[in-house]
């Protein structure tokens, strides 16, 4: 049954679809990357305050995070539930793409600048739209309760949620709603059932050559008198040894199935002049995505050994700094059922002729024939959680509980949590053809192609939230299941406590936009 509140919320999204479209494009064009989403976070904070929310900025010690609350006490006759939602808004370095049907960076920027790939621009505004629709329905229908909305930076490095979780920002919730754009089959227009995402560890290894003069030191050794004298290899050599040793580790240790992966990024290299001095500082970041914590600990131990020996061989010392340690996810079938009913009420997104015309233009621009139906058929179809689960499990061993990674999983240990997906636009491809990456990125910024996803997801978020607020029995079932799975709730016998034992890694040389005498630009200039 569709309640009056649900009808009101869906009407709110329809009435504000132009606002949602403009907001999505705003965040898309900001394109700010992990830990440096200053304009994006400020945009959310200012809008939420205008909408009547109390907002804590810099939550959890993270400058680009926030936590917002709004409470409606009308009609309350005791405990009023609290429902959580969140926005992500970080982009990815090296993916700067304009909202256009051709490959080109956004105006005035290098192609190496940040750009939205998933896109988190649409993710955040979908959740925001659902939040505001829920608030409007609560006011109109006199529904008591509190809405909590967190701003989650640095998701691409699994940054904020383990920190927020460890510092209590998800405690006290009656339910948490997690949405993500998707197109990877079978998780398209559906809800996760049993197999939730796994663990993720990320760390930065810093190599420092701060005593190069001790390399080759012997009793009575004179001061070197030429640039050809012995010197320490230095931090660049340490980094390269670390990279190559860990590449061998990745190739030999990790199976090609089962959701394991390790990736790396060089944050800082060099820091030396051309005066034949050894490089004094180099940093490399690793991200591992694994099903279990024990696997993450095993790989971390191997990386630590590699770093120790690389440092010893190059006259350096090393430091390990945590970026994230996130837990594997916990299922909640009650929450999944509630959201699946909401998604069925809303229906799958649909793309009109204007969107199809844009898609056909893209197809011609990449050198293939335009199709009468350019979007993947699955993007406009729902698939049940159980059916998607069965397909997902085909390639996984029965003993594997979690697969891939995403840091929403930290929320699942603090409140009954649902993870659902709505299709982002994805194009059909002829056999043997793969679209270049810019196509997907551009589709996430063009209003005609991304708006159907945003509107569908916003409505689904709102209907799920309202069900939790209005249906005491459903809310109790979700908590009873959470209590059973954790062995008694937070702190129970089967509960996994936060792994975060580190401060926010905000002081490293993360890629970002900078202001110079040339104006505002990406840290890698355009070269124009």
Say if CB 370 and CB 518 are below 8 A apart: no
Residues 53 and 85 in one domain: yes
Cα atoms found within 13 Å of the Cα of residue 77, Cβ hemisphere only: 2
Instruction: Quote the CA–CA distance of 60 and 67 in Å, as a whole number.
Output: 9
Q: Is residue 373 part of a domain?
A: no
Q: How far is CA 296 from CA 196, 202, 208, 260, 288, in A?
A: 17, 9, 25, 10, 7
Q: How confident is the model at residue 271 (pLDDT cuts 50, 70, 90)?
A: low
Whether residue 524 is contained in a domain is answered as no
CA 91 to CA 28: how far, in whole Å? Answer: 8
Q: What is the DSSP letter of 425?
A: P
Closest CA to 6 of 400, 479, 492, 471: 471
Dihedral angle sign, alpha carbons of residues 250, 256, 260, 266: positive
The pLDDT value given to residue 255: 57
The answer for residues whose C-beta is within 8 angstroms of residue 24's C-beta and 6 or more apart is 121, 122, 125, 445, 447, 450, 451, 454
Neighbours of 450 (CB within 10 A): 29
Residue in 329, 397, 89, 346 with CA at minimum distance from that of residue 192 = 329
Structure tokens at 165: 């979780």
Residues 33 and 89 in one domain: yes
Q: Are strands 175-182 and 417-423 parallel, antiparallel or unpaired?
A: parallel
Q: Could you list the residue range(s) of the whole structural domain that residue 108 is in?
A: 4-66+81-197+414-486
Q: In the structure, what pLDDT confidence band is assigned to residue 355 with cuts at 50, 70 and 90?
A: very high
Residue with tokens 């909640």: 332
DSSP class of 332? -
Residue 228 has pLDDT above 70, yes or no: no
Burial class (CB in 10 A: 0-12, 13-18, 19+), 498: buried
Provide the pLDDT confidence category of residue 397 given band limits of 50, 70 and 90.
confident
Does residue 58 lie in a domain region? Answer: yes
Domain annotation covers residue 114: yes
Residue 66: partners with Cβ closer than 8 Å, 6 or more residues away: 41, 44, 45, 48, 55, 56, 57, 58, 59, 150, 151
User: Residue 205: is its pLDDT beyond 70?
Assistant: yes
Same domain assignment for residues 60 and 185: yes
- CATH number of the domain where residue 191 is located: 3.40.630.10
Q: Measuring CA to CA, which residue among 312, 427, 434 is closest to residue 377?
A: 427
Cα dist from 9 to 6, 12, 191, 214, 476, whole Å: 5, 5, 21, 69, 23
Are 170 and 311 found together in one domain?
Answer: no
Query: Based on the domain organization, do 128 and 163 belong to the same domain?
Result: yes
Residue 222 has pLDDT above 60, yes or no: no
Measure the CA–CA gap between 47 and 136, rounded to whole angstroms: 15
- The residues that bridge with 324 in the sheet, in sequence order, are 202
183 and 48 in one domain? yes
Distance CA 387, CA 367 (A): 36
Is residue 223's pLDDT more than 60? no
Please list, in sequence order, all residues whose beta carbon lies within 8 angstroms of the beta carbon of residue 389, skipping any fewer than 6 positions away: 192, 193, 194, 195
Q: Are residues 210 and 281 in the same domain?
A: yes
CATH code: domain of residue 293 = 3.30.70.360
Lowest average pLDDT, out of 225-234, 324-333, 481-490, goes to 225-234
Which residue, 244, 238, 241, 246, is CA-closest to 270? 238
Q: What share of the chain is helix, strand, coil (3-state, %, to 5)?
A: 40, 20, 40
- Split at pLDDT 50, 70, 90, the class of 527 is low
The verdict on residue 377 lying in a domain is no
Of 326, 344, 361, the position where a domain reaches its end is 326
Note the pLDDT of residue 119.
Answer: 95
Domain contains 528 = no
Could you report the per-residue pLDDT of 153-189, keeping only the tens digit for each?
A: 999 999 999 999 999 999 999 999 999 999 888 999 9
> If phi over 0 gives left and psi between -120 and 50 gives alpha, with beta otherwise, what is residue 294?
alpha
- In this prediction the pTM is 0.94
Residues 163 and 307 grouped into a single domain = no
3-state SS record for 379-390: HHCCCCHHHHHH
The model's pLDDT over 16-75, given as tens digits with 9 standing for 90+, comes to 999 999 999 999 999 999 999 999 999 999 999 999 999 999 999 999 999 999 999 876
Least confident of 317-331, 393-407, 456-470: 393-407
CA atoms of 343 and 191, how far apart (whole Å): 9
Q: Are residues 167 and 23 in the same domain?
A: yes
**141 and 279 housed in the same domain:** no
Domain termination residue (choose one: 274, 299, 326): 326
Q: What is the mean pLDDT of residues 258-284?
A: 79
Question: Computed over its alpha carbons, how large is the radius of gyration of the chain?
Answer: 25
pLDDT digits (tens, 9 = 90+) for 181-204: 998 889 999 999 999 999 999 999
In a domain, 385, yes or no: no
- Considering the domain architecture, whether residues 15 and 103 belong to the same structural domain is answered as yes
**Which tokens in the block code for residue 508?**
């490293």
Alpha helix (H) residue ranges in 347-446: 353-365, 385-392, 437-443
328: tokens are 């594997």
Judged by average pLDDT, the poorest of 62-66, 398-402, 441-445, 466-470 is: 398-402
Task: Say yes or no to pLDDT of 256 above 70.
Answer: no
Best-predicted range by mean pLDDT (171-175, 257-261, 270-274):
171-175
Count of structural domains, the chain: 2
Average pLDDT, the chain: 92
Residue 340 lies in a domain: no
458 token code pair: 């916003």
Residue after which a domain boundary falls, among 260, 292, 326: 326
Phi, psi for 380 (deg, rounded to 5): -110, 20
Kindly state the tokens that stand for 240: 């390269």
Q: What is the pLDDT of residue 224?
A: 55
Mean pLDDT of 292-298: 91
Residues 163 and 32 grouped into a single domain: yes
d(CA 330, CA 391): 19
3-class secondary structure, 24 = helix
């Amino acid at each position: 049954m569709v309640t009056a509140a649900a009808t009101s919320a869906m009407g709110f999204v329809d009435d504000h679809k132009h606002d949602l479209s403009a907001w999505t494009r705003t965040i898309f064009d900001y394109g700010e990357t992990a830990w440096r989403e200053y304009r994006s976070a400020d945009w959310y904070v200012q809008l939420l305050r205008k909408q009547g929310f109390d907002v804590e900025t810099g939550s959890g010690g993270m400058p680009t995070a926030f936590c917002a609350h709004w409470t409606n006490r009308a009609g309350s006759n005791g405990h009023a539930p609290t429902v959580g939602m969140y926005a992500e808004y970080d982009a990815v370095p090296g993916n700067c793409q304009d909202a256009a049907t051709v490959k080109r960076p956004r105006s005035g920027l290098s192609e190496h600048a940040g750009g939205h790939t998933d896109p988190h621009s649409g993710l955040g505004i979908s959740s925001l739209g659902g939040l505001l629709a829920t608030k409007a329905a609560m006011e109109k229908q006199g529904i008591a309760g509190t809405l909590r909305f967190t701003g989650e930076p640095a998701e691409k490095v699994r940054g904020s949620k383990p920190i927020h979780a460890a510092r209590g920002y998800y405690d006290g919730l009656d339910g948490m709603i997690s949405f993500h754009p998707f197109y990877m089959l079978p998780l398209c227009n559906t809800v996760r059932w049993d197999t939730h995402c796994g663990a993720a560890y990320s760390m930065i290894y810093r190599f420092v050559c701060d005593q190069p003069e001790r390399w080759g030191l012997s009793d009575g050794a004179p001061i070197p008198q030429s640039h050809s004298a012995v010197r320490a290899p230095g931090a660049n050599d340490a980094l390269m040894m670390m990279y190559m040793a860990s590449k061998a580790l990745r190739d030999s240790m990790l199976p090609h199935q089962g959701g394991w992966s390790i990736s790396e990024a060089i944050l800082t290299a060099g820091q030396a002049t051309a005066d034949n001095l050894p490089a004094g500082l180099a940093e490399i970041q690793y991200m591992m995505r694994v099903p279990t914590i024990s696997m993450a600990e095993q790989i971390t131990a191997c990386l630590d050994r590699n770093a120790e020996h690389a440092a010893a061989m190059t006259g350096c010392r090393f430091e390990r700094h945590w970026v994230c340690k996130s837990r594997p996810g916990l299922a909640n079938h009650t929450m999944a059922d509630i959201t699946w009913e909401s998604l069925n009420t809303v229906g799958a997104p649909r793309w009109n002729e204007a969107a199809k015309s844009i898609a056909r233009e893209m197809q011609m621009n990449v050198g293939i024939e335009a199709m009468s139906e350019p979007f993947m058929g699955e993007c406009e179809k729902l698939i049940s959680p159980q059916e998607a689960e069965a397909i997902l499990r085909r390639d996984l061993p029965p003993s594997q509980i979690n697969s891939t990674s995403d840091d929403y999983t930290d929320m699942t240990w603090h409140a009954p949590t649902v993870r659902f997906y709505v299709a982002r636009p994805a194009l059909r491809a002829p056999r043997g053809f793969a679209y270049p990456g810019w196509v997907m990125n551009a589709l996430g910024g063009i209003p005609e192609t991304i708006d159907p996803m945003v509107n569908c997801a916003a409505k689904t978020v709102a209907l799920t939230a309202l069900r939790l607020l209005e249906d005491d029995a459903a809310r109790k079932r979700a908590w009873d299941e959470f209590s059973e799975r954790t062995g008694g709730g937070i702190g129970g016998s089967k509960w996994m406590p936060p792994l975060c034992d580190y401060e926010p890694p905000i002081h490293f040389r993360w890629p970002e936009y900078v202001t110079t005498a040339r104006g505002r630009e990406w840290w890698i200039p355009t070269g124009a």
